[in-house]
Structure 1
Amino acid sequence: MADLVNQIGNKIRILRKNRGLTQAELGEKVDLPQSYIGGIERGEKNISIVTMERIIDALRISPVELFSTVQLSEKEQVLDSLKVLLLTRSLNEIEIIYRLSKDVLAALDTKK
């Protein structure tokens, strides 16, 4: 069980950093001190479901994202960073980026 606490804490750290938040900023969003956030990330704190829910909301993720493949691969970290960039955009901008991405990928596929 301690391993799961460490893995979840590490994932929270990665997701927090991908969002450009400090421990203090995340703590402010969830009404917890920075030292407590640090303890969670280091796997020293066994957090309640209520606290976990507040962190999930603050990071703008789903519970599934926190628990699925607890260890993020490099590819998953980059995909999460891309998601964070897109979250602040309008639907119209996201659709434009999607079409551009499809075109770029199609061009890359023709070079294979």
Structure 2
Amino acid sequence: MSKLKVLVGKRLRQMRKERGLTQAALAERADMIDTYLAGVERGERNIALETLEKIMTALNAEPIDAFRFGELEAGKGLEGKRDVIRLLGAFLEERSMEEIELVRKMAKDIMATIDAEKRKMK
């Protein structure tokens, strides 16, 4: 599955739940089958822009809101870690190589500091 499909699907699910809608209710509003919407939310469907527009209209939201991945909450466990890593990747893909390298160096320094603090506590 593509990272983008998974992230958009998770974001759509989050927006639907925030509005207190079931998949069936949102699918009806968007004039689509609920099993299709479920596939979109799981990141299994490669949706057309027209379909995304229908969903966003049914959610009373702007299309750009489907791409606001910073709004996603990270889950727990390994899948939560993977979600966060995907989010970081999505943020970084739009940045220059110099910016990405700066973030990498900062992350390395932060992790070294965390590891040093852990060693002190032992």
Q: Same fold (TM over 0.5)?
A: yes
Change (3 A) 1:2 1:59: same
Structure 1: stretches of 5+ with no match in the other structure: 75-112
3-state SS in 1 of match to 2:61: coil
2:52 maps to which residue?
52
CA distance in 2, matches of 1:43, 1:6: 4
Question: TM-score, normalized by length of structure 2?
Answer: 0.56
State the Cα distance separating 1:69 from its structure 2 match: 2.7
Structure 2 Cα separation of the partners of residues 19 and 70 of structure 1: 18
Partner of 1:100: none
* Structure 1 residue identity aligned to 2:34: Q
Percent of aligned pairs with the same amino acid = 42
Residue correspondence of structure 1 range 85-100 to structure 2 within 5 A: none
AA in 1 matched with 2:23? Q
Aligned to 1:80: none
- Residues 61-81 of structure 1 show CA distances to partners (whole Å, capped at 9, x for unaligned) of 11221112355248xxxxxxx
Which residue is 1:87 aligned to? none
Local SS of the residue matching 2:69: coil
Cα distance in 1 for residues equivalent to 2:15 and 2:70: 11
Matching residue's letter, 2:40: I
Aligned to 1:17: 17
Contact 1:8–1:41 (CA under 8 A) maintained in structure 2: yes
Looking at structure 2, the residues matched to 59 and 37 of structure 1 have their Cα atoms a distance apart, in angstroms, of 13
Task: Name stretches of at least 5 consecutive residues in structure 2 with no aligned partner.
Answer: 75-122
Over 3 Å counting, the alpha-carbon distance change for 1:45 and 1:70 in structure 2 is farther
**Aligned counterparts, 1:51-70, within 5 A:** 51-69=51-69
Matched pairs, number:
74
Q: Distance in 2 between matches of 1:71 and 1:43?
A: 17
Distance 2:27 2:73 in 1: 25
Distance 1:41 1:2 in 2: 13
